[in-house]
Structure formats: C-alpha cells, structure tokens
Amino acid sequence: MGHSLGARVIFNTLKNLQKINMKIYEVYLFGGAVSRTDKTGWLSALTAVDKKIYNFYSYNDSILKNLYQSTMIGDSPIGLGEIEFYTSANLKLAEVENTDVTHIIKGHTEYKDKMEFLLSLVK
C-alpha cells in the first residue's frame, strides 16, 4: 500500500522486481504521484504483480494538480486518473482496477483517514 510518493516508491520497486522475476501478490495505490501515461513502465510493473493493482484517484486532489503537474510538465499522475498501459499477448499482466473516489476524497491528505472505507470498496 502506498500513498502519494509512496505509490511512486512501489512503482519503481515493481519495475525492479520484474527484472529479477519476482512477484508481489497485490498492490494498493492512493493518490499516487506516479505517471499514469508511462506505458512502458506500467507494463514492467504489471508483470511483477500476481493478482491486481488497485488505483484510487480523485479529481479533487489539488496537491497533485498543482505541485505534480507543475513540476512534471506534460504529465498526469495516477492520483488524478486511470493508469494507462499497453497489453501484450506474450506477458502475464496483473489486472488493474482504477477507482474514482472523487465523491469521497476532497483533498490529497484525506486518504489516510478514509483508508478503511476505501479498502472496503474492493473487499
């Protein structure tokens, strides 16, 4: 589980695990400060997850809208939308479940307080 930059750490860890052919069972990302359009990176990350990646995002996240997008010009984070990736017939990829929680999360710091409820949406 990772929130904001923690999701970025998880993303990079998954890419490195893929290189050594190791897998994590499932991953939960909340308001992630990770590129949603790095399709090659997501392809690598998805091969390192056995079951599913859950991505929770909110259009109300002004931290990601202002800080992330101003420093990463031309990029959009997974905390503001769905993860985009290529599919490949030759690779077993984890399933991605993108969940729009805009109606629940009004700001970047609300994920922690609402974590239990957000997890109940998928379990």
pLDDT one-digit tens code per residue, 29-65: 999 999 998 988 999 999 999 999 999 999 999 999 9
Q: Is the pLDDT of residue 90 over 80?
A: no
Q: Which domain holds residue 31?
A: 2-120
Bin 31: left if φ > 0, else alpha if -120 < ψ < 50, else beta.
Answer: left
Q: What is the mean pLDDT of residues 55-82?
A: 89
Using an 8 Å Cβ cutoff, are 107 and 62 in contact? yes
Using an 8 Å Cβ cutoff, are 34 and 78 in contact? yes
Domain count of the fold of the chain: 1
Report how far residue 98's alpha carbon sits from residue 56's, in angstroms, rounded to the nearest whole number.
6
Q: Facing residues of 3 across strands?
A: 30
Bin 56: left if φ > 0, else alpha if -120 < ψ < 50, else beta.
Answer: beta
